[in-house]
Structure 1
Amino acid sequence: MPATALLAVIDRDGFVESEHRGVAVLVHPDGAVIESHGDITRAFLARSSLKPLFAATLLEAGLIELEPAHAALASASHWAEQLHLDTAIAMAAAHGVDEAALRCPPIKGPDGTKRRFAHMCVGKHIALAAAARAMGASADYWSDDHPLAAVLREGLAQAADEPISQFAHDGCGALVFPTTPVGLARAFRRLAPDGTGAHRQVGDAMRAHPALIDGARGPDAVVIGETGCATKFGAEGTQAIVAPDGTTAVVKTADGARRAGAPVALALLERAGAIPAGTLESLAEPLGLVQRSADVAVGMLRPVV
Structure 2
Amino acid sequence: MPATALLAVVERDGFTESEHHGVAVLVDPDGRVIEAHGDVTRAFLARSALKPLYAAALLEAGLIELEPAHAALASASHHGDPEHIDTAVAMAAAHGVDEDALRCLPMRAPDGSARRFAHMCTGKHIALAAAARALGASADYWADGHPLTEVLRESLSAAADEPIRQLAHDGCGAVVFPTTAVGLARGFRRLAPDQQGAHRAVGDAMRAHPSLIDGAGKPDAVVIGETGCATKFGAEGTQAIVAADGTTAVVKTADGARRAGAPVALALLERARAIPAGTLERLHEPLGLVQRSAADAVGLLRPVV
Q: What is the TM-score when the length of structure 2 is the normalising length?
A: 1.00
**2:233 corresponding residue in structure 1:** 233
Q: Structure 1 residue 176 and structure 2 residue 176: aligned?
A: yes
The CA distance in 2 between the partners of 1:172 and 1:278, in whole Å, is 37
Offset of 1:196 from its aligned partner?
1.0
Offset of 1:182 from its aligned partner?
0.1
Structure 1 runs not aligned, ≥5 long:
none
Alignment of 1:42-121 (within 5 A): 42-121=42-121
**Aligned partner of residue 232 in structure 2, secondary structure:** strand
* CA deviation string 1:221-263 (max 9, x = no partner): 0000000000000000000000001000000000000000000
**2:13 corresponding residue in structure 1:** 13
The CA distance in 2 between the partners of 1:107 and 1:185, in whole Å, is 31
Offset of 1:5 from its aligned partner?
0.1
**Aligned partner of residue 104 in structure 1, secondary structure:** coil
Letter in 1 for 2:223: V
Q: Structure 1 residue 153 and structure 2 residue 153: aligned?
A: yes
* CA deviation string 1:3-44 (max 9, x = no partner): 100000000000000000000000000000000000000000
Offset of 1:214 from its aligned partner?
0.2
**Aligned partner of residue 11 in structure 2, secondary structure:** strand
Alignment of 1:1-305 (within 5 A): 1-305=1-305
Identical pairs, percent: 83
The CA distance in 2 between the partners of 1:192 and 1:166, in whole Å, is 27
The CA distance in 2 between the partners of 1:60 and 1:107, in whole Å, is 31
The CA distance in 2 between the partners of 1:302 and 1:217, in whole Å, is 20
Aligned residues: 305
Letter in 2 for 1:300: L
Q: Structure 1 stretches (4+) deviating beyond 4 angstroms?
A: none
The CA distance in 2 between the partners of 1:92 and 1:103, in whole Å, is 14
**Aligned partner of residue 270 in structure 1, secondary structure:** helix
Offset of 1:148 from its aligned partner?
0.4
* CA deviation string 1:172-227 (max 9, x = no partner): 00000000000000000000000110000000000000000000111000000000
**Aligned partner of residue 30 in structure 1, secondary structure:** coil
**Aligned partner of residue 62 in structure 1, secondary structure:** coil
Letter in 2 for 1:68: P
RMSD of aligned residue pairs (Cα, Å):
0.3
**Aligned partner of residue 250 in structure 1, secondary structure:** strand
The CA distance in 1 between the partners of 2:199 and 2:38, in whole Å, is 28
Letter in 2 for 1:297: A
* CA deviation string 1:143-170 (max 9, x = no partner): 1110100000000000000000000000
